[in-house]
Amino acid sequence: MKRIVTRSPLSSNKVRAALLERGVTVDRMTFSWRLSREFGLKSYKPARKLRLTPAMKAKRLAFAKKHQDWTPAQWGKVMFSDESTLQQFVVRKRHVRRPRGTRFNEKYTISTMNHPPSQMIWGAISEHGVAGISFCHLEQP
């Protein structure tokens, strides 16, 4: 079990199916309990990170190789900037335990909004300090 889950950590159902193919039937709760308690493989939501294409990776590597010998004085002429969009009323996915037939009971639901208000923020830094933060206006749908 541990070997299979270590190879494919994102889908316990696939792991259970692989075990079933080998003639091993494991109850869902037993499976979960053994992974958690015996092997220390607790269930978490996966971290999110940017998917990099092979082209993006190649460009980043080329940039790093091109600039690997730059001096601090050369890097001092560079400004780094980034932007981020913040949304109000964002609902994080959570788990809820509820009795059957109570899916839409208010007690077991989370309110959402189709087009929550958002704000784009831009900022930059360089050797000379922070360029400040700018709030950019975004059109709402």
The pLDDT value recorded for residue 9 is 65
Q: What is the mean pLDDT of residues 24-30?
A: 81
What residues pair up with 79 in beta bridges, in sequence order? Answer: 126
Instruction: Report the C-alpha gap between 140 and 86 in whole angstroms.
Output: 13
For residue 43, is it within any domain? no
Parent domain of 114: 70-136
Alpha helix locations (H) across 8-125? 12-21, 28-33, 54-66, 72-75
Q: Do 28 and 86 share a domain, yes or no?
A: no
Contact predicate 22/41, CB 8 Å? no
- Looking at 47-51, 74-78, 80-84, 125-129, which range is the least confident one? 47-51
Beta strands in 26-117 (DSSP E): 79-87
The pLDDT value recorded for residue 12 is 67
What does the pLDDT look like over 60-106, one tens digit per residue? Answer: 999 999 999 999 999 999 999 999 888 776 666 665 666 778 878 87
For residue 6, is it within any domain? yes
pLDDT over 70 (residue 8): no
